[in-house]
Homo-oligomer: A and B are copies of this chain.
Amino acid sequence: MDRKIEDILKRNQLSVTSGRKKILELFLQQDGALAHNDIEKRAGEKFDRVTIYRTLQAFLEKGMIHSIPTSDNSIRYALCKDNCSEGHHHDDHVHFVCSACGNTVCLEGVMVPPIKLPNGFVVEQVEMLVSGVCKSCNMDV
């Protein structure tokens, strides 16, 4: 695992530091999305707020993560899959926000359906955000 994490960082030309390893590990551990706030909590007060901002920024610029807009004010970030190179994202899958547990997950298997816009509009990117109750929360009932 540790090896894998370091590989990812190196592959993206980022120096391997404990902070980045920790944050990347958090992303790998749970296959959902994390907001700045989540990271701060789960990292266990280990490092500075500022470092988290800068680390997320770096990951974003390298294309390692992508941001998911949500209705509340918090931007969440999720790992990009391998076919997602720097600056050009292929994360055309659906994002799901659970209203029960609050988790945001990427539904890799669910593709965003093609959309036809009126004449004159050029589509660059499509984002689909579904809210509802997720699998785990449904089973809990």
Residues of chain A having any CB pair with chain B under 8 Å: 67, 69-71, 73, 75, 94, 96, 99, 107, 109-110, 112-113, 115-135, 138-139
Question: Of all chain B residues, which has the CB nearest A66?
Answer: B71
Q: Write out the residue numbers on chain B whose beta carbons fall within 8 Å of the beta carbon of A69.
A: 69-71, 129
Contact of A123 among B70, B112, B123, B132 (CB under 8 A): B132
Complex alpha-carbon distance, A78 and B21, angstroms: 41
Whether B132 lies near A120 (C-beta < 8 A) is no
Whether A109 lies near B118 (C-beta < 8 A) is yes
Complex alpha-carbon distance, A75 and B70, angstroms: 9
Contact of A126 among B119, B126, B128 (CB under 8 A): B128
Whether B121 lies near A132 (C-beta < 8 A) is yes
Question: Of all chain B residues, which has the CB nearest A69?
Answer: B69
